[in-house]
Amino acid sequence: MTPEELSAAIRAALSATVEAGDLTVDAPAEIRVERPKQKEHGDWTSNIALQLAKPAGMKPRDVATLVADRLREADGIASVDIAGPGFINITLDAASAGELARSIVQAGAAYGRNEAMVGHTMNIEFISANPTGPLHIGHTRWAALGDSMRRLLIASGADVTAEYYINDAGAQMDTFGASVLASAKGEPTPEGGYPGAYVDDLAATALRLRPDLPELPHDEALATARRLGYETQLDDIRSTLTDFGVEFDVWFSEKTLHEGGAVEAAIVRLREQGHVDDRDGAVWLRTTDFGDDKDRVMVRSDGVPTYFAADAAYYLDKKDRGFPEKIYLLGADHHGYVSRLKAIAACAGDDPEHNIEIRIGQLVNLGGAKLSKRAGNIIELRDLISWIGTDAVRYSLARYPADSPLNLDGEELRKQTNDNPVFYVQYAHARTFNVARLAAQDGIDRDAGFDPSLLSDPTEAALLAALGDFPRVVAFAAQLREPHRVARYLEGLAGHLHKWYDTNRIRPRRDEEITDTHRTRLWLNDATRQVLANGLDLLGVSAPERM
């Protein structure tokens, strides 16, 4: 019995109680079941009686008693008990619990998907690094977590668009272009310019595409160097993210906001909303009306729009593209952006508590990493991929909350031992694959027999309970935007698998007859493999067949 089937059984028991006139209450749209904190409280628990007590005008335990009496009659349920103020604790019979193994295998990659976020249309923006240099360790956390959040939200039914905001406007791009041009001409890096061998590489590419670059008039040469350097660097960012397993639906250019008149239009629009003032020759947005610590300049007294004006235009653009919910994943140095972005949402007529969500990721330190030879004073993401591997980096970043500072040991992440969490989980998956391969060699045909009542060992009950909890974990992680819950779940599941494997044989001993016990345990093995693979995929981590 899956959690969804158990929820349906509770709903049926509740409906029967209402139809009998024992309760006068409307059933909620969703009846949730969860794993009890203590094993002796059964396989599943529901707080439905506590939810319905007030509208029913009854004590929670009285409601629970009425529902439990009906629920005990349902197929597959061994016992129903009432605990505490009115929790309904449910124990499944072995056959009903074991049936979950076949359900998971049949569901395949769809197992764990749920409808917790159905009806939500979201734009999630993350990384958004300047295209003036390679991605580095400062970008890795949101690269891993942002993509995992996207996967979790989609798995939970949300309509999600992942977006990369390209900061390709402003003086920084002129400085970047001047740095590339100076290198192409063999001149020193201009004051305040971008150093590093990667600039020389960009200049070499620009010279290959435009051998006449050094001879062009200065303004034309600068514009050409800026464009070619930008395109080359952006291609490098795209390919690095692809190697890291991160894909974006939209690459949005800040420059288009300025060139297309969106910044000016945003100022007019916000002025019409009554939140724009002209003071001291500048144009201001009164963000203090909505909790910001000070009003923000949108156009300076010299007539040049600020980055903040582009931020406002970008927010309105997202709104106009049909994204009621906008998620911003920002770096540790962006705490000041929280109040101003929420103020923009309020000035635009949105609800800052619903229409915009801002997450700040803390810094990551990685012991043993070497500074990039190309970029000089940073640790490049591409070097991390080469040194540690995409799987180890992504998993290690995913298993901790984003708001906690993180110190990782690069050499520990490379070790193939059970002390390394990513190895521990991936090895569990590889073990299930190897078991299935050897079972096939032994002639065990999984489809030739399945008797879920045979899965009665305590380690099997614990493993099945963990497998049944996966959809809830996925939904909860999506709702809280916390991929680390999936990582920690997978580590627990791997532990249950290893204990079960050490206790129960799937393959027959020499000259032993193959029975339904072997076949049924193979179903459980394969169900575990499927859940491990599904969970790893949500984290953007591979599920190897051999290790």
Query: ∠ CA 33-34-38 to the nearest 5 degrees?
Result: 135
Pairs from 476-479 (Cβ < 8 Å, separation ≥ 24): 476/116, 477/152, 478/116, 478/117, 478/149, 478/152, 478/153, 478/155, 478/156, 478/158, 479/116, 479/117, 479/156
Q: How many CA atoms lie within 13 A of 149 on its CB side?
A: 27
Which ranges of 301-367 does DSSP label H, i.e. alpha helix? 307-320, 337-347
Three-state DSSP state, 350: coil
Q: Please give the pLDDT value at position 400.
A: 93
Q: Residue ranges of the domains in the chain? A: 3-92, 171-243, 417-538
Nearest CA among 539, 500, 520, 525 for reference residue 430: 525
The tokens for 285 are 């947005």
Q: Give percent helix, percent strand, percent coil of the chain, each to the nearest 5.
A: 55, 15, 35
Q: Give residue 370's pLDDT.
A: 67
Asked if 151 and 538 touch (Cβ cutoff 8 Å), the reply is: yes
Q: Which of 413, 360, 540, 474 is nearest to 107 (CA)?
A: 474
> Which pLDDT score, from 0 to 100, does residue 375 have?
61
Amino acid 2 reads T
Contact 343, 292 (CB under 8 A): yes
Q: Is residue 29 over pLDDT 80?
A: no
Triad 517, 521, 524: Cα angle to 5°: 150
How high is the pLDDT of residue 372?
57
Q: Which fold has domain 3-92?
A: Gyrase A; domain 2 (3.30.1360)
Q: Phi first, then psi: what are they for 351, rounded to 5°?
A: -95, 110
In this prediction, residue 490 carries a pLDDT of 98
Q: Kindly report the number of other CB atoms within 10 A of residue 277's CB atom.
A: 14
Q: Is the pLDDT of residue 524 over 70?
A: yes
**Which residue reads 């305040």 in tokens?**
192
Per the model's pLDDT, the better-predicted residue between 48 and 332 turns out to be 48
Q: How confident is the model at residue 76 (pLDDT cuts 50, 70, 90)?
A: confident
The residue ranking higher by pLDDT, 154 or 138, is 154
> Is it true that domain 417-538 has CATH number 1.10.730.10?
yes
| Amino acid 374: pLDDT | 60
pLDDT cut 70: percent of the chain above it: 99
Give residue 396's identity as a one-letter amino acid code.
S
In terms of residues, how long is the chain? 547
d(CA 510, CA 520): 19
Q: Which residue has the higher pLDDT, 373 or 382?
A: 382
Running DSSP on this structure, what letter comes out for residue 358?
E
- For residues 494-500, give the mean pLDDT: 96
Q: Please, are residues 545 and 433 in contact by the beta-carbon 8 Å criterion?
A: yes
pLDDT of residue 499: 96
Whether the Cβ atoms of residue 546 and residue 493 lie closer than 8 Å to each other = no
Q: What is the pLDDT of residues 290-330, one digit of tens each?
A: 988 899 999 999 999 999 999 999 999 999 999 999 999 99
Mean pLDDT lowest among 368-372, 391-395, 477-481:
368-372
Compute the mean pLDDT over every residue in the chain, rounded to the nearest whole number.
92
Spatial separation of the C-alpha atoms in residues 46 and 32, rounded to whole Å:
6
Q: Answer whether 141's CB lies under 8 Å from 244's CB.
A: no
